[in-house]
Chains A and B, each alone.
Chain A
Amino acid sequence: MALSACGTRTQTSGGGTAASQAKVAKIGVIAPLTGDLSALGLGIRNSVDLAIKQANESNAIPGWKLEIAAEDDQAQPDTGRNAATKLAGDPEVIGVVGTLNSSVAQAVQPVLNSANITEVSPANTGPALTRGPDAASNPKRAYKNYFRTCTNDLIQGPFAAKYLYDAGFTEVATIHDKKAYGQGLVEAFTKAYKEMGGKVLAAETINPDDKDFSSVISKVKGASPKAVYYGGEYPQAGPLSQQMKAAGLKVPLMGGDGIYDPAYIQLAGKTSEGDLATSVGAPTDSLASAKAFVDAYQKAGYSEPYAAYGAYSYDAANAIINALKVSLKDAKDVKSALEPTITEMSKVSFDGATGKVAFDQFGDTTTRVLTVYKVKGGKWTAEKTGEFK
């Protein structure tokens, strides 16, 4: 019933134009569209939407029309799994951009994998997602359908460690929120930082739902670190920084891409001046390649900013579209193109908004550029961009 109704709608809606005969393929989005992290999630959805609109306008895949199917994961693994199940049940979905959180990705991966749907994350940095449980020592490709356009924490953590150590912060404390992302980041950071000769004076954890960090701050303060490295996202990191400084621990807080968002500064207040964050790639607005994306995004008139992962989501969607150019060309329906799309994904190579977009044998991006950002005058400003070797 539902299927036939669908088919009727596509045929009648486009009535008469060339697009009316076009078959429909959907690119899904799984990201937090509501909740604390919705600023990031809505940026992801809009950027994918932009890539799809552009592909349709330029008729990138002759005979096919692309549509977006955005699902809210509320940054929760369970909700994410439901969203993935829903998309996997839709016979027109061929690829998915998402998720934002590594912990949600863990729940989404197996569902999309068993449906042979290509998944490209613009933001997951958990190493295990591509390289399996022993990511650092014995990497094994975890899921053949999974790719990502951002670097993973095996690179981001050490990159931050090197920056802090070189900048003279040789004694730090670490705090993380015990989620896959935060813990992975801090573990990678700690290993590299100790190897360089840095000292980790205190290693603390918080609960992801906590509001009150006074006890853990008092404890960290006793160790007198020169900086605090935090693994987690801005809803906790902002208040943590604010409470840290109010409690007299006046040292910079550094985090990963999870805190690189204007909302962090809003939550952390005036005292966030000097706080640091690493984020994947070079600053979007400094790249010539990203200018076209930023201009197009602004022209499209979305009510929400593209946020930290906009350009990566745009590249992720374009990676799928590039693969579809080959896999969908002679395909009679979406189902028969699912496997070829995954195969084509590993051959994708083009200049995207964030730089070169291509994937290694694990599905990780081959570009390993990262940037350190600093809060200056109430804004994130790029401090140092570098390629991690």
Chain B
Amino acid sequence: MDVFLQQLVNGLSLGALYALIAVGYTVVYGIIQLINFAHGEIFMIGAFGALATWLVLGSGSDIHAWWMLPVMLIGGMAVAVAVALLTERFAYRPLRNAPRLAPLITAIGISVFLQEFIRLFFGRIPGFPDAKRAIPFPQIDGVTGEAIDLGGIIIQRAALFTLIALVICWIFLYVFVNKTRLGRAMQATSQDPDTARLMGINVDKIIMVAFAVGAALAAVAGLAHGLRYTNIDFKMGFLAGLKAFTAAVLGGIGNINGAVVGGLVLGVIESMATAFIPGQFGGSAWKDVWAFALLILVLVFRPQGLLGARVVDRA
């Protein structure tokens, strides 16, 4: 039972990370039906932005104070949102009316571009470490360090941070989407952009908001990732992005609650598969196989995803 609870905790905290990234896929898809494959790199940029903020403000005097955390978070978010808006403006907007395949391919291009850009550029700024290998991420007292032991169940502080961050972001997002004018405008645009435009909604602005919201949450995930795994690298966005995309599809792409649930389910499946599938097909190495096998099963028997609604083709 202890192993079960421990793996549940491991899975939920891993899933929380996927969920934070998955929301970005879902929000953007909900508005413009684009699978933004560069979103994993926005997550990576968020982590590098937080690191850069720390290098500029905190590293000289070796400050590990609690107030560094919100500062790093804001720094990471600012960089991630800026990059997301730039990609939207210069890579996706010109292709808004192109066939659906064109922006998808552009997204893959942006993804590779951002990875290589960080790899080649980061070490060139004086005082910044070379990004060609994993860079140690600053550890902040209270958020990292000695794990909490709850009667045999080990909970890492950084994992707790990820879970709490997910809950807070989820609440914010719920209030934003349902209670604000901007949020309702987003809902309207996702239902029917043309009619929304006729109702006086600035659709371009709404699309930018969607990209910004997704990027901000990805930056939270980037910071959480750095604190959890104590290092970041330019490739970290690829696999995390793929998992988050899977989580979004699992939950029902376009559905924010679905992305959160999908992320958590994916994380839990991975850690349970490691612990409880016996024999040759068990173990950590096979966890991705089981996670994706589940994805295929869900898509076969419930193509709209766990929480998704059946999409009616637009007339």
Contacts and interface: CB of A to CB of B under 8 A. Distances in A.
B315 interface: no
A258 B228 CA distance: 23
B285 A218 contact: no
A263 B133 CA distance: 9
A224 interface: no
A220 B251 CA distance: 31
A242 B136 CA distance: 12
Interface in B1-16: 2-3, 6-7, 10-11, 13-14
A235 B275 contact: no
Most buried by B among A204, A216, A222: A216
B136 A210 contact: no
B133 A35 contact: yes
Contact of A247 (B132, B154, B229, B239): B154
A34 B156 contact: no
6 contacts: A34-B119, A36-B134, A212-B228, A215-B271, A267-B134, A267-B230
B274 A219 contact: yes
Interface in B203-256: 225, 228-231, 233, 235-236, 239-240
Interface string A211-245: 11111101100100000000000010011001100
Contacts of A178: 285
B3 A218 contact: yes
Interface in A167-183: 178
A204 to B, nearest CB: 6
A216 B156 contact: no
Interface residues of A, number: 34
Given A218-B6, A222-B3, A39 B133 contact: yes
Given A36-B134, A211-B225, A238-B231, 9 more contacts: A204-B283, A205-B284, A206-B284, A209-B239, A211-B229, A211-B240, A214-B10, A216-B284, A269-B230
B139 interface: yes
Interface residues of B, number: 39
Given A216-B283, A219-B3, A239-B229, A38 B271 contact: no
B133 A38 contact: yes
A263 B233 CA distance: 13
Contact of B285 (A38, A205, A211, A214): A205
B248 to A, nearest CB: 19
B271 A239 contact: no
B7 A239 contact: no
B148 to A, nearest CB: 10
Most buried by B among A211, A216, A247: A211
A266 interface: yes
Contacts of B287: 207, 215
Contacts of A215: 7, 10-11, 14, 270-271, 274-275, 284, 287
Contacts of A209: 235, 239
A266 B236 contact: no
Interface in B136-169: 136, 139, 146-147, 149, 154, 156, 159
Interface of B: 2-3, 6-7, 10-11, 13-14, 119, 132-134, 136, 139, 146-147, 149, 154, 156, 159, 225, 228-231, 233, 235-236, 239-240, 270-271, 274-275, 283-285, 287-288
Given A206-B285, A247-B154, A214 B13 contact: yes
A37 interface: yes
Most buried by B among A178, A215, A247: A215
Q: Please give me the 4 A-B residue pairs with the lowest Cβ-Cβ distance, nearest first.
A: A215-B274, A215-B271, A216-B284, A205-B285
Interface string A310-322: 0000000000000
Contacts of A35: 132-133
Contacts of A267: 134, 136, 230-231
B284 A38 contact: no
Nearest to B159: A214
Contacts of A214: 10, 13-14, 156, 159, 271
Contacts of A235: 133-134, 233
A266 to B, nearest CB: 5
A218 B10 contact: yes
Nearest to A175: B284
A213 B225 contact: no
A296 interface: no
A248 interface: yes
Contacts of A239: 229-231
Contact of B139 (A205, A212, A269): A269
A339 to B, nearest CB: 38
B16 to A, nearest CB: 12
A246 interface: yes
A54 to B, nearest CB: 28
A211 B2 CA distance: 23
A39 B154 CA distance: 34
Contacts of A216: 274, 283-284
A233 to B, nearest CB: 11
